[in-house]
Structure 1
Amino acid sequence: MALRFIKAFMAMAFIASLSTAQAQSSRKLVIANEGGFPPYNMTTADGTVQGFDVDIGNAICQLIHAQCTFVTNEWSGIIPALLSKKFDVILGAMGITEERKKRVIFSDPYGITYSEFGVVAGKEFAITPQTMATKVIGVQQGTTNAAYLEKTYPGAQIRRYPSIDALISDLKAGRIDIVLGLEEKFTKEGDAPKLVTIGEGVQVSEGIGIAFRPEDTALRDEFNAALKTLRADGTWATLQKKWAPTIK
């Protein structure tokens, strides 16, 4: 018990020191995510990006002695923007897939996530190839969830959306029947009608990783070393509990 308390205290102290340490660093990195994928990344009313990804990124930057700035980019174009050097790193709950590995290199996974099917409460049904063929399925475009649906339900009517908010809005309005996404988004949508998950969770990638340009292997290795430290010293667990309890 005492050891767990000490580790938790050290992790909280480490997180509290991030802004001061980064302010003293002269090395600069620009990190991108969508800014609209809670609880991993989201944009507040004043334009600040926050979430699990941001806190993990800040912790890494403190360890590698870099001053990091977070920017947002539309998700379907985020890899082209990285390759064109609009920013240095993508840290935005990006699923690691073989297709993406053809364009970027990834860090070790910093989490394993499971996607869930969500519907409006009272409209639950059993998920089978037959029932899915009769439904309009919503998903965010350019995601591993979209790729999973295309492969698993090739004959289904799949409607792709530019953002999670647009996806959820159409589900609640009855314009689509079911969506595939992260459970946290469904459970935190408090406005009526209520959303619920159905069926089994699915793992649609090898895990979520941090993406870099193919030539940036040294930077990738620095991030990997920092991720190991965050796991070992309790920081990752503290942030996981704060933002995304379902992530592994």
Structure 2
Amino acid sequence: MRLATLLAAILLLSIGPAARAADPAVLKELAPTGKLRVGVAYGPVPTPVFVVKQADGTVRGVTYDLGVALARSLGVPVEVVAKPNTGDLTEACANGSIDIGFMPADEERRKRVDFSPPYFTIESTYLVTAASGIRTMTEVDRPDVTVVGITGTATVRAAGRSLKAAKIVTVPSVDEAMAMMKAGTVQAFALTHDSLPPLQKTLSGSRILEGAYLTVGVAIGVQKNKPAALAYVSNFVERAKRDGLLRRAFDAAGLQDLPIAPPAR
């Protein structure tokens, strides 16, 4: 934890002073209120998608660091808007109550939000309870199995498409889903693989299933019909890959073992 905190401090220092104001057309679309409203989803542990809330109410994580860096590149202040799930981010991005949001860019979301190239690729699988006896993906799809997922997420949508016999229920947050797993009211939790190892440690005998039923890129979303905003965040993501900003953000969050997405073609 101390190493992650130190890396985060170094990252924020490396972002440097605020840049000159961006092109007026970009600012009009990307920061229409004069500040960049950055939408992030929070969870119990930091991931390439989730930030964590700290005791003082602030957040830390990859998406927070990237949002701060993007605001500085624009030369505007940042306002962080934290939501319990990426479904809420989709809605906020689509209706314009936030300027950008970090979320998996599945086909359903692409109908409502435009996306930069991905900065990470997620794979979705299941955490299953010891009592369930489930050991493979196939065994999840039984009439006696109830799967919990997070409301409005790409992961739970994909689970719904792939499961025919199992029952699916949704809740707003990871904490609520884990409470159901611990209570034994559900047998499986549909979530991204990178998020599951820390959660597995809190549930004795649970296992993470091998394989993935969804593979999708995580990207920066902007409201539809904002071409200047989309071009700017797309260039920002690619630049963050090249200059090491993205790698430093992952490392500062304790995600040294996770690969960032390759440059877009």
Question: In which range does the TM-score fall when normalised by the shorter chain?
Answer: 0.7 to 0.9
Match of 1:234 in 2: 244
1:22 shift after superposition = 4.3
Please tell me whether the aligned partners of residues 34 and 74 of structure 1 are also in contact (alpha carbons under 8 angstroms): yes
Q: Distance in 2 between matches of 1:216 and 1:131?
A: 41
SS of the equivalent of 2:121 reads: coil
String of CA shifts for 1:10-46, please: whole Å, max 9, x gaps: x98664143x624997952111122236313122222
Indicate conservation of the 8 Å contact 1:117/1:197, yes or no: yes
| More deviation, 82-91/152-161 | 82-91
1:21 aligned onto 2:42? no
Separation (CA, whole Å) in 1 of partners of 2:120 and 2:236: 14
Ranges in structure 2 where 5+ consecutive residues have no aligned partner: 1-7, 23-33, 261-265
Name the structure 2 match of 1:8: none
Q: Deviations over 1:98-142 (max 9, x none)?
A: 221111111111111112311235755232545521311111111
Match of 1:35 in 2: 42
How many Å apart are 1:53 and its aligned residue? Answer: 0.9
Cα pair distance change 1:222/1:174, threshold 3 Å = same
Correspondence for 2:77 = 67
Deviates more, 1:135-144 or 1:22-31: 22-31
Once the two structures are superposed, residues 144-181 of structure 1 have per-residue CA deviations (whole angstroms, 9 ceiling, x without a partner) of 11111111113321111111111111112211111111
Alignment partner, residue 148 of structure 2 = 138
1:147 has 2:144 as partner: no
- Contact 1:60 1:227 (8 Å CA) reproduced: no
* Distance (whole Å) between structure 2 residues aligned to residue 224 and residue 51 of structure 1: 20
Are 2:229 and 1:219 equivalent residues in the alignment? yes
Distance 1:185 1:77, change over 3 A: closer
1:49 aligned to which of 43, 55, 59? 59
Q: What CA distance in whole angstroms lies between the structure 2 residues aligned with 1:99 and 1:87?
A: 19
Corresponding residue SS for 2:181: helix
Q: What TM-score comes out, normalization by structure 2 length?
A: 0.77
1:246 counterpart = 2:246: no
Compared with structure 1, are the counterparts of its residues 235 and 120 closer, same or farther at alpha carbon in structure 2 (3 Å cutoff)?
A: same
Matches within 5 A, 1:86-97: 86-91=97-102, 94-97=103-106
Relative to the length of structure 1, the TM-score reads: 0.82
Residue type at the aligned position of 1:211 = G
Instruction: After TM superposition, list the pairs within 5 Å mapping 1:157-168 onto structure 2.
Output: 157-168=167-178
Looking at structure 2, the residues matched to 188 and 154 of structure 1 have their Cα atoms a distance apart, in angstroms, of 29
Q: Report what 2:26 is aligned to.
A: none
Give aligned-pair identity as a percent.
Answer: 21
In structure 1, the residue matched to 2:209 is 198
Residue by residue over 1:69-90, the C-alpha shift from the partner in whole angstroms, topping out at 9 and shown as x without a partner, is: 2112353333333333322111
User: Structure 1 residues 37, 109: CA separation in 2 closer, same or farther (over 3 Å shift)?
Assistant: farther
Q: Could you tell me how far apart the structure 2 residues matched to 1:77 and 1:12 are?
A: 29
Which runs of 5 or more residues in structure 1 are unaligned?
Answer: 1-10
Q: Which residue of 1 aligns with 2:125?
A: 116
Aligned in 2, Cα 1:54/1:108: closer, same or farther, shift over 3 Å?
A: same
> What's the CA shift for 1:59?
2.3
Q: 1:184 to 1:129 in 2, by over 3 A?
A: closer
Structure 1 residue 77 corresponds to structure 2 residue 88: yes
**Is the CA contact 1:140–1:163 (under 8 Å) kept in the aligned structure 2?**
yes
2:31 alignment partner in structure 1: none
Count of residues in correspondence between the two structures: 234
Please tell me the root mean square deviation across aligned C-alpha atoms, in Å: 2.8
